[in-house]
A and B are shown apart, each in its own frame.
Chain A
């Protein structure tokens, strides 16, 4: 089999904070792909949000030219991967585009949850692993111990593993040498019909969608008619080329083994979905590459503009974000409580937070979001099964036979002294224990089946705090399981406030209901009339509080003749009223909604 000997395609995988982006920066610097002068920290993460959170959200790719010690110059294609479980599918597509992966392990922390999860993912794709022990500059670094751990836990020989500091640049060249020697070159399949794997796509307002591909078989050049095998959509190729960190470098053609981009005046990223196969209409491949699936949102919530006048702006913002994010779904929704807004679907909670933050930051919108929900399957007594991600679609309880909720297969990695704390937490979250694996003397893997709705909100934060940050967590979707899910309603003055309804396991309903009622009581200002707050399942009230009628709201003093001051105070009060949400005669400030939504943060 003929190979393209001078090409190496690789990813970098690591647990969060083990230094993936910093290492990538050093590689770019060393290969002089970027001059030191142009270096901003973590160049591959070019969204502000990514740099701030220190995580990679979108996958990126870049081509490096490296003159190795053997005298040859190699084309190294670095395909960066997102580093969060919400984006597991994207990670898997990036890996499928490579022959090898650099596995970074922190020299003080050792093997962590995502180290393992990503390793398994890489092995699933038959990638050659290049272990690299990073952060040897840290005082707590213990590369020998960590090398041992990697051999023990992963079974990956580490004698030759480069020991580097991406921060100081120490030994980085060894990483490049290892890539050249360990990662196999791609096979030359130039004469087969085109099959290119889409591992990412981004929307550019000038060029339309830029499709990032790995050419598995065949060739593609401008003028070809490209066809997306999953959707059948066809486009005329305008440009192909290589990605450089700060530019795109057009080429005459891309051939098998290469990584590059295609533009073809494609209007939205949903026409070039991650994982799809590009072929040509002239000479189509008979079979698409394996592994494509349409990414489905897992977590849903209502997103409303705090100021109703911003509804159209919110729609435009969501449309723009969707151009670049095929996993984001939204459709209009109306709430009695919050007015006009959108029901949005996300891959997970991080995805939700990112979108929310981008809407607020990049589009300057003030938002109210409702309690996130997963998709429940409701089996009706007439035999129908309906899927519900929105509590307001919950059917009449009398028509329900039973409900099912999605679960995840979760692995929690931590030092053994935290087993108790973790088990308590998982029990609390209705987890079903599977087993414990001792990975190393100071590391265990607790395997649980957990309901998805118990982990979408704050599970990871609580886990971190109960294990002083030592635990890490990874999950993948498992099956649906029968569960006693009910809908909990909030009533103010006898009226259901739809935006506050949510679905919850019946065992947890009482405690939660009491806390929400208290929270609302504290956050709803006293008004002219007494306001009963009731928490109800079906018609049955399970918790109740009362906001007493307002007794005092008066400016006693006349401030001498300073009438303007009084007028201003009244104006301010009127303004305050405008920002309230009105339900019949009850006024609820935005803060009350936020307080209920953030209930779990305490």
Chain B
């Protein structure tokens, strides 16, 4: 027991003593700030962008990454990509091998997907995912927009309270998805399964460059062309917006209610201020000022 305790202690000690300077030293450049439709106090998701982002996520990301916190029905709920319930039901039904059961004879069986089902994961478990990806685990992407960040530093993080900057995660993800470059000349040679990325801490990432120009076909406008370019930059922004929605599906409702609450509290505070002044003016030390 004593050995175990010291080992855990050692691990914990190493964690905050040794690993953090490594991170600090190897952290990449700061991701550039993108403009997001969902930033700021009145932010809303861009439905067309979420639909495009969902297409990228489904056709590219979902072959390795799970997004099982999302259920098909979420895709038609308010504040989301705005698919219709029938579109969602049709989409769910295209997944024909949803495992269910046991049935009356005690057998597990497969059936087509329903809107209430979670988005099927590409691998049954982490070990299977690692085995298929050269030992690296593709993390679920449903929470990633909130689970990734970068250091803002002093005093920027204080200004962020007032500017409401909180898109650290999305900015980092866009930078990462578009940050695949050839390593600099003095960089140690890459091993098999390693890729160079400008924005990954330590620059080594197991995920190969996931997006390429023209890889995903976007819905066409009336002129027969996609209204947005089919480029890596656009794919990265769209899929990241979709990831932000997956991480925070009630973001629009939160900001909308927030404005109402702030307005109410500000008015209430104003009324209380004058009520307080009125009541305290009965006292002689305040009477002279009225």
Pairing of A with B: no
B interface residues, Cβ below 8 angstroms from A: none
A interface residues, Cβ below 8 angstroms from B: none
